[in-house]
Amino acid sequence: MGALRLAALAMAVLLAGSEIARRIMTGGAIEALDEVLVAATLLWAAARPSGPRMAAAWGVFGGFSVVLLTTTLAETMRPEGKPGAGLYAALLGGMLALSLWAVRRALRREQPGAFSPRNPAAGRVGRPGGG
């Protein structure tokens, strides 16, 4: 759980810090608290780490990344576009990949072997035996 906890702390600091710095640089107040709330969720999970908490916090982070990624990709399709959208989309894709890795790792900590290809019951839904 150490790597997940460290990653959650780092992402929370980067996410909240970048939003606060951006608002300070532009001279505006923090109006949209989405980044700060996602960072708070990651801090909550890092403060009291457990498999379900980490999976939930990283799932929220992943959902946030998907929303930002889709809006950024939509901007790239417009003729005037958004400057630096390609780099921003690549960074968001990396954030999404990190969140998927973290959710999988948190769930594997909760149920070791549940996602292993060597586990004959992995991926089966319904009755025991796959029916």
Asked whether residue 115 is assigned to any structural domain, the reply reads: no
Beta-strand ranges (E) seen in 17-120 are: none
Domain count, the chain: 1
64-95 pLDDT, tens digit per residue, is: 999 999 998 888 888 887 788 888 899 999 99
Q: What is the pLDDT of residue 32?
A: 67
Q: Which residues contact 55 (CB under 8 A, 6 or more apart)?
A: 103, 106, 107, 110
Q: Domain for residue 8, yes or no? A: yes
Q: How high is the pLDDT of residue 113?
A: 60
Whether residue 87 lies inside any domain: the answer is yes
Query: Using N-to-C axis directions, what is the helix angle for 85-110 and 51-76, rounded to 10°?
Result: 160
Domain range enclosing 50: 2-26+34-110
Q: Say yes or no to pLDDT of 114 above 90.
A: no
Domain contains 46? yes
Token pair, residue 59, equals 């799932």
CB 73 within 8 A of CB 57: no
Domain for residue 63, yes or no?
A: yes
